């Protein structure tokens, strides 16, 4: 007997909606995109990579610290050397000023007694010039005058100077008033009118003050009153 074969009918395919392809993006639109790796080990790798690129090796850091320390030490040594040089300069200046002052004091002590010799020569010369009665007086006067001039030249070469006080206002720092001359002339008030003995100085330091006579103004009314008073007595 022949087997009957069943013919299976094919089911009609179900109609499924066809998905439309996405429309192409308009031209000019930004088509870039970014991918963020959210794995935690990936973030750790990124951090390690950043630190290794910016941080220097430990031995380089040590060298930089040593270099900075040496630069600081050099700067400190330079400041100390400059301060020491300035101190030495000031000390040298103080010593020079002290030596100059001591030398000046020694000169004053040396020349002060010699001025009396000059005074005696001037008195002798003046006395002989006033007398001038003996035949040998001119030769003596000339000899004393030569000694006197030579003495003054020696003092001048050593730095000793004669004070110029005649017809100048009285200066108590350089003059010693030993007499007063009263006149009815206001222009001579407190003016040195006569020098009794010369004054000397050296390098601005007074060796001996000049002994002088100072003028003083006196009105004529006072003079007449004094004269009348004397006449009454």
Q: What does the DSSP assignment read for 110-158?
A: HHHHHHHHHHHHHHHHHHHHHH--STTHHHHHHHHHHHHHHHHHHHHHT
User: Residue 52's pLDDT is what?
Assistant: 47
At residue 171, the pLDDT reads 93
150 with 169, same domain: the answer is no
151, 181: one domain: no
**Residues 203, 174 share a domain:** yes
Q: Are residues 130 and 73 in the same domain?
A: yes
pTM of this prediction exceeds 0.85: no
CATH number of the domain encompassing residue 171: 2.30.22.10
Together in a domain, 145 and 108: yes
Give residue 218's Cα distance to chain centre: 51
Residue 172 lies in a domain: yes
Biggest alpha carbon–alpha carbon distance for the chain: 209
Question: Is 147 a member of any domain?
Answer: yes
State how many domains the chain has: 2
Q: What is the pLDDT of residue 219?
A: 76
112 in any annotated domain: yes
For residue 110, being part of any structural domain is answered with yes
Measured between alpha carbons, how far is 33 from 9 in angstroms, rounded to an integer?
Answer: 51
**Whether residue 119 sits in one domain with residue 101:** yes
As given in the structure block, the two tokens for residue 110 are 């040396």
User: In terms of domains, do 191 and 214 share one?
Assistant: yes
Domain with 170, as residue range(s), is 159-221
Q: Do 210 and 195 touch, CB atoms closer than 8 A? A: yes
Domain annotation covers residue 192: yes
**C-alpha dihedral sign at 212, 217, 223, 225:** negative
| Same domain assignment for residues 109 and 180 | no
Statement to judge: residues 136 and 166 lie in one domain: no
Please report the pLDDT score of residue 192 as a whole number: 94
Q: Specify whether the CB–CB gap between 196 and 178 falls below 8 A.
A: yes
**Which positions of the chain have pLDDT values less than 70?**
1-57, 132-137, 220-233
Q: What is the pLDDT of residue 29?
A: 47
CA distance 172 to 178: 12
**Are both 149 and 189 inside the same structural domain?**
no
Q: Tell me, what's the pLDDT at 11?
A: 57
39 within some domain? no
Asked if 80 and 68 sit in the same domain, the reply is: yes
pLDDT at 142: 84
Please measure the distance between the N-terminal and C-terminal CA atoms of the chain and give it in whole angstroms.
Answer: 209
Q: Which of 136, 155, 174 is the last residue of a domain?
A: 155
Residues 86, 170: one domain? no
Which uninterrupted H or E stretch holds 179?
strand 175-183
Domain assignment present for residue 67? The answer is yes
Query: What is the C-alpha to C-alpha distance for residues 201 and 208, in angstroms, rounded to an integer?
Result: 7
């Amino acid at each position: 007997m022949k087997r009957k074969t069943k013919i299976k009918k094919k089911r009609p395919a179900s109609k499924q909606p066809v998905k439309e392809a996405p429309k192409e993006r308009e031209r000019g639109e930004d088509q870039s995109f970014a991918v963020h790796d959210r794995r935690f080990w990936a973030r750790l790798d990124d951090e390690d990579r950043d630190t290794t690129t910016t941080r220097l090796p430990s031995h380089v850091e040590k060298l930089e610290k040593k270099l900075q320390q040496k630069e600081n030490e050099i700067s400190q040594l330079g400041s100390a050397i400059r301060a020491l040089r300035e101190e030495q300069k000031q000390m040298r200046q103080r010593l020079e000023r002290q030596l100059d002052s001591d030398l000046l004091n020694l000169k004053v002590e040396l020349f002060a007694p010699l001025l009396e010799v000059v005074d005696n020569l001037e008195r002798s010369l003046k006395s002989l010039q006033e007398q001038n009665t003996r035949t040998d007086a001119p030769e003596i006067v000339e000899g004393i005058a030569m000694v006197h001039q030579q003495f003054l030249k020696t003092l001048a070469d050593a730095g000793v100077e004669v004070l110029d006080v005649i017809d100048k206002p009285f200066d108590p720092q350089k003059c010693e008033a030993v007499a007063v001359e009263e006149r009815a002339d206001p222009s001579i008030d407190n003016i040195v009118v006569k020098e009794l003995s010369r004054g000397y100085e050296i390098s601005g330091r007074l060796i001996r003050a000049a002994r002088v006579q100072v003028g003083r103004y006196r009105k004529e009314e006072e003079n007449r009153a004094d004269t009348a008073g004397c006449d009454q007595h």
